[in-house]
């Protein structure tokens, strides 16, 4: 079996498992909820860190998101993937939370401290990461969300459109403008993923 087919089968199995967990959650199964929570915790944390840019708000919004999943599991209608439904809840909760606070955010210095190559490479990577992060920070929350969902969570544009409740063409336009903006940082012509 080729790797692409095997990967597709694993993704289908995971989606089926998540749907089953959601059905069990709708019936009040706390163990199923804990399993789903643990599965989504790292993914939602990363997504919310990028969208919110407020580390102090991530846990609260993540917990609010999962509370909605617990309370509304019976409303999931299988018209989208479970992950699309959960990320849509997280995105709406993040936008609502951002509206409550209007404070400046701190830089992601801790992320850059983890890079361990030689001194010259370290300096170049750090500068590039800082430039990328600074450029992404200047983008709208919608563009940051599209970048995060596409690059780091592997979501297709159709899924992102469902999550963000907008047309697919709007997602494509947001990604186009984000990529164009980031491309200026790569004068050698290297591409920005997406």
Asked if 148 and 47 count as a contact pair (C-beta separation under 8 A), the reply is yes
CATH number at residue 63: 1.10.1740.10
- Could you report the per-residue pLDDT of 10-56, keeping only the tens digit for each? 455 588 899 999 999 999 999 999 999 999 999 999 999 888 888 88
Task: Tell whether 17 is covered by a domain.
Answer: yes
Q: Which of 49, 76, 33 is nearest to 133 (CA)?
A: 49
Residue 20 lies in a domain: yes
For residue 78, give its domain range.
Answer: 1-103
| Residue 49 forms part of a structural domain | yes
Is residue 36 a part of any domain in this protein?
yes
Q: Is position 130 within any domain? A: no
Q: Looking at the domain assignment, is residue 22 inside a domain?
A: yes
Q: For residue 187, tell me if it sits in a domain.
A: no
**Helices (DSSP H) in the chain: which residue ranges?**
3-26, 30-52, 55-72, 82-100, 109-113, 119-137, 141-147, 157-164, 168-183
Cα–Cα distances (Å) from 163 to 36, 146, 158, 171, in that order, read 18, 10, 9, 10
| Structural domain total, the chain | 1
**DSSP sequence for 104-136:** -----HHHHHT--S-HHHHHHHHHHHHHHHHHH
Residue-wise pLDDT for 132-149, tens only, equals 778 888 888 899 899 888
* pTM beyond 0.95: no
Q: For residue range 90-109, list pLDDT tens digits in order.
A: 999 998 988 776 554 444 44
Residue 147 lies in a domain: no
């Amino acid at each position: 079996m080729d790797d692409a087919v095997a990967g597709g089968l694993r993704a289908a199995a995971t989606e089926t498992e998540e749907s089953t967990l959601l059905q069990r959650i709708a019936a009040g199964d706390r163990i199923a909820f804990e399993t789903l929570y643990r599965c989504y915790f790292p993914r939602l944390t990363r997504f919310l860190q990028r969208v919110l840019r407020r580390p102090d708000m991530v846990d609260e919004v993540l917990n609010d998101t999962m509370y909605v999943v617990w309370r509304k599991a019976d409303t999931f209608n299988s018209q989208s993937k479970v992950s699309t439904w959960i990320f849509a809840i997280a995105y709406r909760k993040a936008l609502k939370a951002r509206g409550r606070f209007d404070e400046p955010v701190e830089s992601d210095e801790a992320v850059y401290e983890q890079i361990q190559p030689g001194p010259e490479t370290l300096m170049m990577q750090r500068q590039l990461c800082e430039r990328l992060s600074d450029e992404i920070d200047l983008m709208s929350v919608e563009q940051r969300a599209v970048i995060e969902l596409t690059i780091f969570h592997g979501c297709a544009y159709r899924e992102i459109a469902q999550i963000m409740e907008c047309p697919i063409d709007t997602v494509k336009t947001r990604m186009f403008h984000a990529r164009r903006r980031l491309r200026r940082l790569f004068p050698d012509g290297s591409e920005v993923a997406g």
